[in-house]
């Protein structure tokens, strides 16, 4: 019979079942009247009541008992009307009728319990965390995956309602996606980060602080469950942990809008968001554009890591002094700040504070500054994009006007740093410059050549500013690794010189001042006349000065001993012709 109930409920629509049930009751009444009234047989007509009882059991399972009660009362009423009293036999028949109704209801309803059990077995093996509630919101299925996700065992939650199932996710009782399936008037959708209705299926994404150690982003899918009559008898929700995907999306979104070095917004984001700042209530609006002076030189001399640290330092100082501004890294070494409700005077004060607190001497041993320009709008008719361009153009004009002064200051800083960190003392530099000037005149060099020779004498070892102090000032012998670091200073100095127009004429001389006449020098291994003349001159004069003045790790020689050493290295380390000229002027 359970099989017939399953087939009947699965294949017969609700309206058809109601029609069949009504027809069975009418047919039963017809048989009762016909048998009892026309045939006068009183003993068997009650058996006809079992027909509608069976039909109720087929259609509505346990409601067969209610039908038995109604039909039993109908039978007792008929017996009372017929005889004026209710006989014990009639009561006995009704009792039997109720027992049969209960049995039929139990028999057919056991299919429903069997269905729930089978449903639970199927859901238990689903990979996604899944649970099912009935129409009263009580949990009837709680699979293994959701046990693992929440730490709540099925035995502890089955049969519970009152939003008990939300506690492991949110730490409080509240409606969730599955509740909106049962109660469409629920306002639960506003609690979700994303929410969408796909016909009768609901999908949503939310952050659940109760899942895992730090919470999790969960994606839920909820849909209704129907009985054979098409009525909603419950709902099912499957939940998937999408935290990794969400974090990846957030990371991509962050990278799309932020500069990866400084953590500031990038140019794309600022160009999009600046129109949200450009409102009448934010007037006056000021734009600051700044550019770090000498960052390329620092990257060439010290590498990109110190350069990146300088960018971060600049970003931090700008943030600290532009609290209410929209700040972005505008370009390679440029920053832009949009300041609502900020006039020109206040904006200039901000730039002054930034440069006052901007110090990078703990990162690189040179002074670095930021060039700024400010543009302000007090009229709403001025476009914010034009205001930004105005500040940018002004900053470039200022840099052109100040360029020579800025570079001169930077070169002085480089030379001071070199004197502080290495053996290149002012006295050493002065002696070198004096002697190369004598040789230059002896060789009848042109005025420009003499100027370049003098500049090279002062800055030939400028690349040493990038060599660590521990190596530069080491009193003992250098290791092979340390020596390789020292040997890179001509290349570093060459890059620095190329970055500064004032030093560009001696860039090649800086690069080659450690080359040897016989081709065994560094870094290029040039030989003979391949080596620039000014480099060959510096090589002799510098070697002589070091020999007669000594180093912390090397004892000084006498003048005569130094001359003998110069002669000995003539033709190997030094240009023989220049050695002869050098000896003549001493």
Six-digit token string for 236: 């099912």
- Is residue 404 over pLDDT 70? no
Q: Is the pLDDT at 103 greater than 60, yes or no?
A: no
pLDDT of residue 290: 94
Mean per-residue pLDDT for 192-196? Answer: 90
433: Cβ contacts below 8 Å, ≥ 6 apart: 454, 457, 458
What pLDDT does 93 receive?
60
Report the run of H or E that residue 202 belongs to, with start and end: strand 201-208
Instruction: Name the band, by pLDDT with cuts 50, 70 and 90, for residue 525.
Output: very high
Average confidence (pLDDT) over 187-200: 85
User: Is 538 a residue whose pLDDT tops 70?
Assistant: yes
**pLDDT bracket for residue 67 (50, 70, 90):** low
Q: Output the pLDDT for position 160.
A: 92
Could you list the beta-strand ranges (E) of 242-377. 265-266, 285-292, 326-329, 334-339, 370-377
| H or E stretch covering 88 | helix 88-124
Determine the average pLDDT of the residues in 88-104. Answer: 58
Report which listed range, 88-97, 122-131, 206-215, 471-480, is most confident.
206-215
Residue 377 phi, psi dihedral angles, 5° rounding: -120, 130
Q: By percentage, how much of the chain surpasses pLDDT 90?
A: 47
Q: What is the pLDDT of residue 436?
A: 93
Mean pLDDT, rounded, of the chain: 82
Predicted pLDDT at 8: 42
């Amino acid at each position: 019979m359970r099989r017939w109930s399953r087939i009947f409920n699965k294949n017969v629509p609700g309206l058809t079942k109601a029609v069949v049930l009504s027809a069975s009751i009418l047919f039963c009444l017809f048989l009762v009247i016909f048998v009892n009234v026309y045939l006068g047989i009183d003993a068997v007509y009650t058996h006809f009541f079992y027909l509608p009882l069976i039909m109720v059991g087929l259609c509505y399972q346990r409601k067969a008992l209610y039908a038995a009660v109604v039909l039993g009362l109908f039978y007792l009423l008929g017996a009372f009307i017929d005889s004026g009293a209710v006989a014990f036999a009639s009561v006995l028949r009704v009792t039997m009728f109720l027992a049969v109704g209960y049995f039929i209801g139990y028999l057919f309803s056991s299919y429903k319990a069997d269905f729930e059990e089978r449903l639970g077995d199927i859901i238990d093996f689903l990979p996604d965390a899944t649970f099912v509630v009935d129409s009263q919101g009580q949990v009837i299925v709680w699979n293994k995956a959701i046990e693992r996700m929440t730490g709540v065992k099925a035995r502890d939650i089955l049969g519970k309602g009152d939003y008990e199932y939300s506690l492991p996710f949110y730490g409080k009782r509240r409606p969730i996606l599955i509740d909106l399936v049962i109660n469409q008037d629920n306002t639960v959708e506003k609690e979700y980060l994303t929410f969408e209705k796909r016909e009768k299926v609901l999908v949503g994404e939310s952050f659940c602080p109760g899942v895992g150690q730090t919470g999790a982003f969960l994606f839920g899918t909820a849909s209704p469950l129907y009985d054979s009559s098409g009525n909603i008898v419950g709902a099912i929700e499957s939940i998937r942990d999408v935290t990794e995907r969400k974090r990846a999306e957030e990371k991509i979104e962050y990278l799309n809008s932020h500069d990866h070095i400084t953590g500031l917004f990038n140019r794309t984001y600022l160009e999009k968001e600046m129109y949200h700042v450009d409102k009448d209530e934010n007037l006056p609006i000021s734009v600051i554009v700044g550019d770090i002076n000498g960052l390329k030189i620092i990257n060439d001399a010290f590498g990109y890591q110190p350069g990146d640290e300088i960018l971060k330092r600049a970003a931090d100082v700008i943030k600290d002094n532009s609290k209410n501004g929209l700040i972005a890294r505008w370009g390679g070494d440029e920053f832009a700040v949009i300041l609502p409700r900020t006039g020109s005077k206040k904006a200039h004060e901000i730039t002054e504070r930034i440069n006052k607190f901007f110090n990078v001497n703990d990162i690189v041993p040179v002074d670095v500054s930021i060039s700024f320009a400010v543009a302000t709008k007090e009229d709403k008719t001025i476009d914010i994009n034009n205001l930004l361009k105005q500040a940018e153009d002004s900053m470039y004009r200022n840099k052109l006007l100040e360029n020579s002064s800025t570079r001169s200051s930077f070169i002085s800083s480089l030379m001071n740093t070199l004197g502080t960190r290495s053996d290149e003392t002012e006295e050493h530099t002065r002696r070198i410059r004096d002697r190369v000037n004598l040789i230059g005149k002896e060789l009848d060099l042109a005025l420009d050549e003499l100027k370049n020779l003098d500049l090279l004498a002062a800055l030939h070892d400028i690349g040493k500013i990038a060599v660590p102090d521990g190596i530069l000032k080491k009193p003992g012998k250098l290791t092979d690794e340390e020596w390789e670091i020292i040997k890179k200073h001509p290349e570093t100095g060459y890059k620095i010189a190329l970055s500064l127009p004032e030093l560009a004429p001696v860039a090649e001389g800086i690069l080659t001042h450690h080359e040897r006449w016989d081709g065994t020098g560094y870094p290029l291994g040039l030989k003979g006349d391949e080596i620039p003349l000014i480099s060959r001159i510096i090589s002799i004069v510098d070697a002589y000065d070091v020999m007669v003045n000594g180093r912390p790790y090397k004892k000084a020689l006498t003048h005569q001993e130094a001359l003998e050493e110069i002669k000995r290295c003539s033709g190997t380390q030094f240009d023989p012709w220049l050695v002869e000229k050098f000896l003549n002027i001493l």
